[in-house]
Structure 1
């Protein structure tokens, strides 16, 4: 996978995470200030990736590898369906939180790949969910 593909995949994952974690249905036991801080951090990374992709001339290619895009969309659609099927229960959200943590680990791996392969300026601050 080249650095542009890694950036595009990272971009899509972060967009989906932002969408899900921005839901007004998040459980009340989640600390609001921490969640908003995380959402701001995700939004910052998305904006930064948009700039990098535009600078790289890949704005029109932002969809990335078609199969990867479909797999990512399908994965997050399953998460949304799971939440809805479980009436957005606290237990369902705990499962989603664990899935999000795995996604952040994958994003961190993609960022490390981007850094090692080319001078794509992606922040080194690791993403996390608490």
Structure 2
């Protein structure tokens, strides 16, 4: 006794698997805040202090472009696009010369892998690239950070400052995801590059 499966059965099976995958992906996309960037922030926090080292005070930089926009609304899809661009630009930054960073190569590789994984996952939620305007704002902001690192010779203090800045941006990501839903928006003041939160102006010094 044998059972023969025809082309129609194979087609139906493929459709069922596709629907299941789509449903799982949709659930992941609707719960971005529960998983996105958590491990990256945890690793970053474990590798740096809560304050700027005293010897690095002279290296503190302001990455603002002196532009301030009040009551700036970022729609749900733009918030996701901004989040993805922050992660992409952070990955680019951490692929630069990091020989003077107080990180081991294993930690650097793990951080890069975590960023890449989250970028890929978020890309599946976004579909076609969206939010070009907000992406350009993010790129411009990180370009200033990259120039600062280069001009400071990728020094230990420069990396300390950049890590502080990136951590503030990761906290901004949490706000972006928390305040957006299927049709949600949030209002924020943009004054330091991309969101008003990525700034050294209020960070304590040790």
TM-score grouping bracket, smaller chain normalisation: 0.7 to 0.9
TM-aligned CA deviation for residue 29 of structure 1: 2.4
Residue 53 of structure 1 pairs with residue 126 of structure 2: yes
Residue 118 of structure 1 pairs with residue 182 of structure 2: yes
Q: CA contact under 8 A between 2:91 and 2:115: conserved in structure 1?
A: yes
Residue 90 of structure 1 pairs with residue 146 of structure 2: no
Which of the numbers 56, 72, 92 marks the counterpart of 2:138?
72
TM-aligned CA deviation for residue 98 of structure 1: 0.6
Deviates more, 1:73-82 or 1:103-112: 103-112
Q: CA contact under 8 A between 1:9 and 1:69: conserved in structure 2?
A: yes
Larger radius of gyration: 2
Higher helix share: 1
The superposition leaves residues 5-42 of structure 1 with CA deviations (integer Å, 9 ceiling, x where unpaired) of 1111111111100000122x112521222222221111
Tell me the number of residue pairs that the alignment of Structure 1 and Structure 2 aligns.
Answer: 109
Q: CA contact under 8 A between 1:6 and 1:113: conserved in structure 2?
A: no
Structure 1 length normalisation: TM-score?
0.76
Deviates more, 1:86-95 or 1:27-36: 27-36
The superposition leaves residues 41-91 of structure 1 with CA deviations (integer Å, 9 ceiling, x where unpaired) of 11111001111111xxxx0xx24051x223211111111110111111111
Q: CA contact under 8 A between 1:7 and 1:53: conserved in structure 2?
A: yes
Tell me, which stretches of 5 or more residues in structure 2 are unaligned?
A: 1-73, 184-206
RMSD: 1.7
| Residue 128 of structure 1: aligned partner | none
